[in-house]
Structure 1
């Protein structure tokens, strides 16, 4: 196990009694991100209008390069940034056929922005959605592959399901089965939590994630990898997307040829400063995402084996501890999950919940001491 708590002193010291076990939801930020936030302010004051040459030049290039290294992407220029992933949802949906309702294949465990947007469009008959159940997890990929062969315009699926923590492996098979469909992979629970190598899918699949969770950079710095040639002219488009537009018929709205074609408009750049700092810190420490996963899984094992007398039963885990295809959080199926979360909050233990599923997240900001501390408080709740 690692002990990097000293690098998170600002977040951990803000409330020393708090035991934060929602690292999969809102990860504490390393101290270097505070310095980056101040740098964003200071450069805005120093450069004023000229700050955009810095933000859209060296800063964006640094962020692109660091994200590309983590994902095994051959060309950082395929990456584009936005304040949230919903912007990418809208732009991708705006690129689909307009003369008929496009057909979308997804699962019943996708992130809320996508599920809400698709459901709203369904109400108007503007999209036809097929949803594959993620459980049982063991044959989820096989069922997705079988469904994808039926022919769709869009296939959108998570790499790690937020509702359970199950990891969907073998996505190359889905890419092959998807045919001409646009393939989008939601990597928000995988990016910086476990090794991700997109080198074999870089020319085929869109991939989106951001800084809010395991990248430790907070809000406002989401990204999309845009495979070359796919969806060259989204209808929902911001004026930044014209930067670098060199081709196209006279009078036609121009687009950049790389990831910039999915750019929006003016945004708060402070998230990019924090992301650049967090990823730079990660590299400077000699860390790898394999180390992050191993650390989280070691903490999970310590937690699960110490649950006697806490009232939580490892048999209630949606993805059991002996399943190697699991993310960096543990999910308990509990009929009284809401009451559990309230009791934990009263004991200064931060978790999060989705309906009857209580989730405990593990990350770099924790050590064995935090796991032992939460177990002790859990036992005290039973006394």
Structure 2
């Protein structure tokens, strides 16, 4: 099995005794991200006030091109970046005119959406229907929703949304809108949105498998959907001399969902990491093949009794249900073996910086659990 530890020398040297199997939660950063971070700082001091010309004129388009290539998007201009996906979610919801907002979501969405949806319900600004992932398309076809929000890969179980096209077929500019949360899918699964790019929103970011850290979330916004978000910042303004005085203009592309001033360093890191992967010939398919070997090795020697929730899933982590999950995670962490837990589910995630020897050490650590 090919090793890629040389791409992560700084992160591995920072904690040499650590055995990190939480790539699905906090992916270790490759050395290229350090180069990107330095470039952001150096541009800031070298260019000062003029740094935004480079950020928006060079770094931003490079990041757009990388995301568009990864997802098969025909127009990189439909992409907009933000510090986190929550800001983008609020902008999307603000562009829908109906209140209360009628939302359909799966019953396994990430905490950020779960909490916001619950608060909207509490405030009376949304009516939320939740359904199991395998019934989302059926419930969506029944109609009556303004917003359909569902994860491409569920963060807790690793279950995968199998038919984005079925939801996309329902989407209309006047509603419903379909939003795919791709955070656990982007750069983990090969994803081609070319056939649905004119129908669905897609949210993801750099924190997980893109290996770029925080501050680089993005949204693909289909043309014609939400031309005037109510939650808006001055970066979204599009100067149009034909507008009458006092009018509020919007960019005609994905930038219509922009907010205000942001820290661009996450975008620098993302571009640097993607450039590194291209130079190394590491596609999402190639990384998945590496991970598949690690996962198969662990499953073949798994020494704990737990229910595997995602057998056969292409997700980059194993979801193992057991009443001992919380205790197991704590015991492992005390031994510098890093996993994570969600309720009674122990999650073990895989990445490029692991090899067969790491999996053997993990199996040994798991065998000590009681």
Give yes or no for TM over 0.5.
yes
Question: Contact 1:105/1:155 (CA < 8 Å) preserved in 2?
Answer: yes
1:227 to 1:297, Cα distance in 2 relative to 1, 3 A: same
2:365 is matched with which residue?
A: 377
- 1:296 is displaced (CA, Å) by 1.4
- 1:336 is matched with 324
The alignment partner of 2:169 has SS state of helix
Secondary structure of the corresponding residue to residue 304 of structure 1: helix
1:86-235 equivalences under 5 Å are 86-98=86-98, 100-134=99-133, 140=134, 143-149=135-141, 150-178=143-171, 180-235=175-230
Matched residue, 2:12:
12
Equivalent of residue 319 in structure 1, options 304, 310, 315: 310
How far apart are residue 108 of structure 1 and its match?
1.1
Could you report, residue by residue, the CA deviation over 1:206-261 in whole angstroms, capped at 9, with x for unpaired residues? 00100000000000000000101100000000100004556656533100000000
Aligned with residue 356 of structure 1, among 335, 341, 344 = 344
Instruction: State the Cα deviation string for residues 300-333 of structure 1 (Å, max 9, x = none).
Output: 11001112xx3x13x511112xx2x430100011
Once residues 338 and 123 of structure 2 are traced to their aligned partners in structure 1, the CA distance between those partners, rounded to angstroms, is 39
| TM value normalised by structure 1 | 0.93
CA contact (8 A) 1:207 1:224 kept: yes
Deviates more, 1:216-225 or 1:360-369: 360-369
Distance in 1 between the 2:238 and 2:56 partners?
10
Do structure 1's residue 24 and structure 2's residue 24 form an aligned pair? yes
For the residue of structure 2 that corresponds to 1:272, the secondary structure is helix
Aligned residues: 367
Equivalents in 2 of 1:91, 1:374: separation in Å? 42
CA-CA distance at 1:380 after TM superposition = 3.8
- Normalised by the length of structure 2, the TM-score is 0.96
**Structure 2 CA distance, aligned partners of 1:246 and 1:153?**
34
Deviation of 1:189 after TM superposition, in Å, equals 0.5
Q: Which runs of 5+ in 1 are unaligned?
A: 135-139
- Cα RMSD between the aligned structures? 1.5
SS of the equivalent of 1:353 reads strand
Residue of structure 1 equivalent to 2:45: 45
Report whether the alignment pairs 1:57 with 2:48.
Answer: no
In structure 1, what is the Cα distance between the partners aligned to 2:240 and 2:104?
32
Deviation at 1:178, TM superposition (A): 4.7
* CA distance, structure 1, for counterparts of residue 340 and residue 145 of structure 2: 34
Q: Equivalent residue of 2:212, what SS?
A: coil
Q: Distance between the aligned counterparts of 2:79 and 2:72, measured in 1?
A: 12
1:295 to 283, 290, 294: 290
Q: For the Cα contact (< 8 Å) 1:152–1:178, is it kept in 2?
A: no
Maintained 8 Å contact 2:328/2:369: no
The farther-off stretch of 116-125 and 236-245 is 236-245
C-alpha distance 244-9 of structure 1, shift in aligned 2 (>3 A): farther
